[in-house]
Structure 1
């Protein structure tokens, strides 16, 4: 019985690791998508800046750029945190 339990434990542990890795990959891909969207928005903002050079638009663009910068930092921080948690979790499972 003990041997059977041990045999069952191995595939269960590997399945848990795989599911966890899939979840991590999903989080990372979502953050990457967010970053891509932010980059597109930044490019659009720069195009607007080049085309229309009125003071109000420039002020609006500056505010938007600051907001985008903070969003980008948040996304990167989330990515780092998730990566660190994933490494720690996998090491814990393997240990």
Structure 2
């Protein structure tokens, strides 16, 4: 993956496009660390989650792997946090008429 200009979270071996929907095994965490370590200064890595960044360490749960994973993600990163107030936007959509 070092040759790719951009990779996104759904390309990882996590079986999900969003952190927090599945539990990472120790092997999944080790794989993430290897991927993120290879990506340092090699290109962009996009990660998306519905959970706040400050909860990711607890989600990764194994400090010996969570610390370096989050260090690789945070170093030279640009963070965009979407804060949408109120109810789900899906509720505001009108039903499709037949």
Higher relative contact order (CA 8 A, sep 6+): 1
Which structure has more strand as a fraction of its residues? 2
Task: Assess same fold via TM > 0.5.
Answer: no
